[in-house]
Structure 1
């Protein structure tokens, strides 16, 4: 792994989060966020995903959990994690 590598684990509650029209957040939206923030710290990736889901759903109650784990390499001796 190098400084640009990270691992993102998530539950289906993220991609299946629904807005007021019943539309799902979907994997493509999640991918766009992950690509856009690939060079950011793990906590920023986590914050952006959560914020975008909240913006999409307008904070409507969801039927499934929204859980993620971001593991990111900072350098060869350190790593970051956001859970």
Structure 2
């Protein structure tokens, strides 16, 4: 039995980078949805709540697309 160590290392590296990236994007989504709206007169350093919530939903959509692509790769 012959093991192609270079290919195995490449798969490991790509899997590690994608996993860490996907967890980071999901974390940004959770942070975006957990922000509480500030008082009406206060100014926010993080931008408008609508923009923050939209960015969080975009992060979740990116995670769902990555999971869907992974399932597609397994099935196809």
If asked which structure has higher relative contact order (CA below 8 Å, sep 6+), I would say: 1
Structure with the bigger percentage of helix: 2
Which has more strand, going by share of residues?
1
**Bigger Rg, structure 1 or 2:** 2
Fold conserved (TM > 0.5)? no
| TM-score in terms of structure 1 length | 0.27
Please give the TM-score of this superposition, normalised by the length of structure 2.
0.29
